[in-house]
Structure 1
């Protein structure tokens, strides 16, 4: 769109269809076929100092309209590929809050939590490990997870299996996460059942 030539460089204002940006090309090469209103093919890097600009490493005038069409198709293809991968990651999480906020499961789950809570209190006295520890943690998370939709904290799990070393609890939780029985919720320290 604009061109200012100096002895060792040239500064351009270019537009690629998404917006205008300044481009600087440091070269003693021949730039006579490049000017305002011409399509160019360039590559380089975005720089932020002294102002945001495109530092051109190589540039050539476009000789055929096919090059422009091919570039537009290539950009659209890349944008579609990037757009579809993000949609896959964001689709599953909204489903769970909708089910919990429906209100249909709330009365039933509070009754289950009230019944399950007394059953989980006796094993606090002796340290546990292995499969019994995993089973107890899973029972505790099922009972408490209904009351705490944000997940049950690591400290609450450790307090429930009192006497069991925190490293054993961490190993059991990692195993349950690996098997897909539980998952982390708001951070790596809060857990809930699947």
Structure 2
């Protein structure tokens, strides 16, 4: 009798680099923009292709993101696809300010998708990032979107969400997590 593939096995089979790979534990290399814009565009295309593949094997009701290390590339770029709205490209992102107002929610990661962990994150995040022409801009993200962006910026710094979990806490299996029935909630609204 064959054991069915785990969620992590499935992600690996669609090209998502899994926990333990050195590229996930190393800070990424920023782009020199606009000089490296063509390379940056190619990687962004690869990230969207990976997100498309992931979306065929799992429903991401809260949104999702993919960082370059998760497709084996050590460059400072990630994409975030919110539950609603347009995809966000983060080229050379740097968190410049985060709110002291935080909350704790469960997160998952495509690079070890068999578990979920409760992670404290700032409710508001201010991020400086570039466009392909090299122009800098600052974006402010709140609540669920701030959580998604923070998770991806962590990937670009070689940090996995389990390192952000409070001491003494641990991940739970997807089966246990599904049993909680909890969605991300912020001040009476639901991020779903």
TM-score w.r.t. structure 1 length? 0.24
| Higher Cα Rg, which structure | 1
Indicate the structure with greater helix content.
1
TM-score w.r.t. structure 2 length? 0.24
User: Of the two structures, which has the highest relative contact order with CA contacts closer than 8 Å and spacing of 6 or more?
Assistant: 2
Indicate the structure with greater strand content.
2
